Structure 1
Amino acid sequence: MYNQSDFHNPENVVWTVSELNDRVSQTLFTHFPPLWVAGEVRGFTRAASGHWYFTLKDATGELACAMFAGHNRKVGFLPKTGDHLEVHGQVSIYRARGSYQMVVDSVRQAGLGQLYEQFLKLKEKLQAEGLFDSSRKKPLKRIYTKIAVVTSLQAAALRDVLTTLGRRAPYAKVMVFETAVQGEEAPEEIIRALQKAEGSTDVEVILLVRGGGSLQDLWAFNDERVARAVAALTKPVIVGVGHESDVTIVDWVADLRAATPTAAAEHATESVDVLRSEVLQAQDNVRFVFNRYWSELSQRIDSFMREIPDPRQTVKQAQERLQDTDQQLRSLIKLSWQMRSQRLQHCSEALVHPAMRLEAEKTTFVRLNQELSHSFSSKWRNCQRDCVSLTELLTELSPQAILRKGYSYVTDSEGRFIKSNSAVNVGENLTVHWQDGQSHVSVIDKTNDDPAH
């Protein structure tokens, strides 16, 4: 809008306030690229929009700062008055008031620059040694029933883990190994707690957890000694430190990095509701397979039974023959009675003294009647014995009776009966059917008997 001559000859141009503010802002952007500034926080406020506004000061000066919500959501802590911070951003002019300020895009606690440099150096060193390689990490099971939690007893992370495990995996036994998770003594205490958990026979997996915090708060989890101690453990280790945005050296060394302590507890267990659902599904599958097997077996038995004469039908036929014999016997008796009656009549007519002849004939009739009754009874008993014998014979010849005597029969993998040694091949899988079950066998050799012998 303005040329260079106008800028060096301000007497030729009358500037508006907004134009001057724009020119100063443009100059600041040109001559002051984004940079880091350190100072103490004063008058920190958080607007309803989520933006942060505060003043950064030192012994002799102050700098107004604004950090918009899109950037401050990435900060893992909430600054407060008195904090010493290092802020990164662009120096500019707030056009509406003409005030000088810095638009901040990143914040860290003072002194973290050196710590972060140490963090990067250690990360590069351990990565070069292969401690981060996935090939050295131990595989994790889906379900653990013996879980160690290494953390502080006062940590909110412990409550989160215990609550999650109680709700999700009431079947799991949990042991807590106390340690400091912050401060100079924390690394040594963490190592001792890890070694105790490693040596316990009641531990299958180790959860190393703590809540979120600044880089300084989490520094114990960036300690090289702790990282090497985690790598040396034989039991799998799940680390859940801070929030999802918090990353430590131990996260990369562990067998699994969880976003939060709660997520670490979830990775170590399976929900009891899911397990219950899977058990019910497995029961349904077993029931379905059993019913199908039972149906197939019943069909095979029916087919087998159709090939064997039904004993009931044989008994029925014997009974029918017995009835026919009874009818024939009754007809024979009736015929014999008629013939004897006729003879008696003829004899009576030939008698000189009918009373005496009648008496003799009556005696003869009684005797013949007794003989006939005896003969009939004998014949009837013989028929009954024959019927009983036939019934017992049919029962003895039934397949189940044969099996109860110690015999068995053999079928191939398709359920077909094996009736000859020649129908069997070496290596073939067969099923031997006994009275009380089946045996599955494999033919390793066979010998044919000499027909001549």
Structure 2
Amino acid sequence: MFETSKPMTAPHVWDVGALCHAIGDALQARFNPVAVRGELSGFSRAASGHCYFNLKDASGQIRCAMFRRAAEHVGFSPRDGELVEVRGRLGIYEQRGDLQLVVETMQRAGQGALFEQFLRLKAQLEAEGLFDAGRKRSLPPLPRGIGVVTSLGAAALHDVITALRRRVPHIPVVIVPALVQGAQAPQSLVQALSKMYRLAQAGQALDGDLAQKAGQPLIDTILLVRGGGSLEDLWAFNDEQLARTIVQSPVPLVSGVGHETDFTIADFCADLRAPTPTAAAELVAQPREVWLGALGLMQDRLDNAVQRMLDRQAQRLDLAGQRLGRPSQQLAREQLQLSRHAQRLRHAMLIKLQHKAQNQQALEANLPQILQRSLERQKQQLERMDLRLQLLDPRLVLQRGYALLTDDGGKPVTQVAQAPAGSALKAQLSDGSLDLVVTPPRLL
């Protein structure tokens, strides 16, 4: 008797992209976020600012990508062979199907505690507004004096002084020394800055001439500088008290601590961060040649403007001199104009006299006809007035059978109420008058 095996269930058929996406979800749920320690290999920075590299050890390696936003906060310059600790998220780069770690933070191995402390202080001070761009001031274009706080034995001081002597040898430099490394360095830096602030405020309280006569330095900007080093070497510039002292500076303060890739809390608090101590000096000191060139250009422009103005005034003077030097020409022009006006006046008067003479001759020739027409118009007017008077004669009305009644006083009687019974009236007819007596009305 033979046994029949059960048929195998067919596996689910995935699209490639969907499978990669599902694997990524599984990694996200199982591992992320993840921290990895390893050696940098094949580190490169693209033009976009994104960084790509491998993390490896003796038993394996993994591809990594760190985008520009995260790369900008790395406090050192990563190099192949360095041992680092990174934090990030595992995922699948679906275009290639590769396992990839997207790095969010990176630090040298062994510096984790310090770096975490740095991040906590940075977040705290940023929340308090110590890093706000609105409180940062612009550097003066022409400082009257420059203050420098650093160690007297530091190479950074030599670099700063060399740059300032080369670019602005005429500007005085005030140096207040301080420790820049070690346990006592933060307090030393705070004290040095406080002293520099007092000097700057004292100089600002006096006018320039008075300050110089009193031997008081005029400080318009301050440089806080130190050369490069490890995170431990630069740790004094990550002190909270130092950060709060920096933001109290009465004049713009430039931080030039470490190399270009080094960042400290002091950099975020300063009005301006310079990548190196030498760059800090160059930022506050435009070369003297630049200003001399600008002054020369301004002088040329001023000379040209003055020369153009003098030329215009000279031309006006020449024209005025020509007018004053030849008054006979002006007099001749005025006389000619006067002669023209007189000739026009004579011509106008002659024409008016001619018109008047012509009108007089026409009047004499037509006088009989004018008189005859005038007499006829007056005769017609008189006849019309006579007719109007005749029409107004009351006798014409009386001839048509009407009579004019008057009372014994001669007043016209126009209403019955004016002639009661027994009243004496007079009736004027067309050929005489009658005396009347009003009788009472008859009863029917």
Could you state the TM-score of these two structures normalised by the residue count of structure 1?
0.49
Bigger-Rg structure (1/2): 2
